[in-house]
A and B are shown apart, each in its own frame.
Chain A
Amino acid sequence: MATKAQSRMTPLKLFSYGFVALWLIIAAFPFFWTFWGSFKVQADFLSKADWMNALTGANTIEQTGSAFTGAGYHGAWVLEDFWYNFKNTGIVVFFTVLISLTFGTLGGYALARSGFRYAFWILMAALVFRAMPHMTLVSGYLLWFFEWNVWGILPTTIIVLVAINQPFTLWMLHSFFKNIPKDMDESAMVDGCTRFQAFRHVIVPVMWPGVITTGLFSFLLAYNDFTVAVMLLSEENETIIPAINSFMGTTQIEGKVMYAVAAVVSATAPLFVLILFFQRQIVSGLTAGAVKG
């Protein structure tokens, strides 16, 4: 219950409101600005003369006759075949999430139910693996992938992303399975199930909330990955994030910067939708490992 003393406006409270408001503006403004600007021409989006141009679109009206133009999107999606990169990202993300969750649930369940000392050591090793900068791992793969002729194709990237994702998935699902009472699967085993049958028929039906939360983070890792994709994928198999980077390398010519801006907005849109629908799960996932200490 809020008492009178708690709901009174104090300078401290006013300051903290102001601080939050400032943060929210800093957090949201760049996205708003880029989204709005993606419908303008480059002379407006990067307007040295007057930043108001980016809002009103003075040059856009002059060049295209209307205050909004889809030229950037047309350029990126149609002329530069950005949809093709989206398709690659779709394949990579789908299989990475599917395989990591399969491996992760089996492993996380085993770790949660095993009291042996080596289970702890596996978790510790996973924590150390989680800290490895991805670039150092990539420098370990590259030579061998070239030698075995598996460089540049999507399956290689998928399996690498699955592996990089495992430490996090294991920790998260391990702590999630620990919260499912032991009695459930043990009573199933008393009734004659094997361990796997108990897992399949008793644990699987109740594990979906935890698996969905973990899956969201696997999705984010695979979708946002730049380091692995830029080093391990050939040009025709590029996913969207390295594709945006190569846009930047080749498009310093007038007008083409807007292709990159449109591509950036297109790449952010799925994430925006994701937060819109899964905010609760994302927040609970972020704090899952933390609140338990």
Chain B
Amino acid sequence: MKHRTFFWFILPTLSAMVLFIALPIVSVFVQSLFVEHEQVLVVSESCGPFGCSPTTTVDTEATAKLREEQPLGRFNGLGTYINRSHLAFAEIGEAWANSDSLGDFWSQVYNLPFYSALTFTLAYTFIVTPLVLALGLAIAVGVNNLPRALKGLAIFISLLPFLVTPLVGSLILFWMVDGDGVIGATIQRIFNDPSLSLKASTALTWTMLMVYGVWHTLPFSFITFYAGLQTVPDDTMEAAQIDGATKWQRLIHVIVPHLMPLVSFVTLMLIMDNFRVFEPIVSFKAEAHAQSLSWIIYNDLRESGNPLYASAGATSLITIILAVILMSPVLVRTWRDFTRKSH
């Protein structure tokens, strides 16, 4: 294909991606360098019968004008990145100096909003992903053994939690585990503690969100592995059987190695999707105990009347860098495959 023709074919999709994905990344960087204007204050003398005293009032008109002229705010350099709500270097240094044990240091760091969100996001990603991989493989093997007529039905049912809107799916679970819901009320009865609520403790909230995460993404790994199982060569399986391999040994030594390329594909997809965890926190109203990186950006932008663009921009840029770091092993591998093919 000629360069010219290629250019015209790729133009619409490329311009959409450049304008609405690449430029916004530049835009969050620019936003993060500025900070909101301070209000314009006017000091005036107000004189009453008991003498004069200076009073300070906010000049709303001038403030609004300033905001309109320079919507980005005033230049702040990298100040937003190192303040308390983001990387908080000063607070961490202080915590390091003041804490007498590692646990104490950690609990101080965890109180900083950015680090608490980072901890939850990473914990969610790295607990849900392996669970989904292992359980997905187990279900795929199980469904593969089912009689033919039941396979279609099993796949149909399994697709439901995956394709349902995340916000809706988590609401459905929320109504069940809520204090008045069927699961929540049963748990209260079992432990005979009417005040027991899944929302009341950090550990239970985290568990609840992760259970939702597994429920929601398990079908994806299951279906991919199931499709992979259809391509396991019969000859190899038979040869292993003749050599005396048990069912379990065949699973570990024949099926799993055959599925390895799929495992890395599924892992990549799961990490990308789990890293942006957001909707369940909204649905479960879990923000008191669990905040994700996406959620704190949302919270900054929702700041009523006056969105904190600088703060959201700084968190966004850090999040983007983390996402690229998480993906880098896959990117490097794809690049290596490509150069090997082309030589």
Interface on A for B, CB 8 Å cutoff?
Answer: 10, 12-13, 16-17, 19-20, 23-24, 26-28, 30-31, 33-34, 37, 45-48, 51, 54, 102-104, 106-107, 109-111, 113-117, 119-120, 122, 124-144, 146-147, 159-160, 162-164, 166-167, 169-170, 195-196, 199, 220, 223-224, 226-227, 231, 241, 244-245, 248, 260-261, 264, 267-268, 271-272, 274-276, 279, 282-283, 286-287, 289-291, 293
Contacts and interface: CB of A to CB of B under 8 A. Distances in A.
Contacts of B145: 13, 16-17
Contact of B21 (A51, A146, A164): A164
Contact of A33 (B14, B182, B320): B182
B331 A275 contact: no
Contacts of B168: 241, 244, 264, 267-268
B5 to A, nearest CB: 5
B273 to A, nearest CB: 9
A275 B165 CA distance: 13
Nearest to B260: A293
Nearest to B121: A133
Contact of B272 (A102, A110, A130): A130
A102 B12 CA distance: 9
A132 B293 CA distance: 12
B253 to A, nearest CB: 16
Most B CB contacts (10 A, CB to CB) among A102, A274, A293 go to A293
The 6 closest A-B pairs by CB, nearest first: A140-B24, A163-B20, A110-B9, A107-B13, A133-B276, A136-B316
A46 B175 contact: yes
A28 to B, nearest CB: 5
Interface string B147-168: 0000010111111110111111
A131 B327 contact: yes
B276 A23 contact: no
Contacts of B247: 10, 12
Interface stretch (B56-64, B80-88, B294-302): B294-302
Interface stretch (B39-47, B202-210, B306-314): B306-314
A160 to B, nearest CB: 6
Contacts of B315: 139
A135 B293 CA distance: 9
B223 A113 contact: no
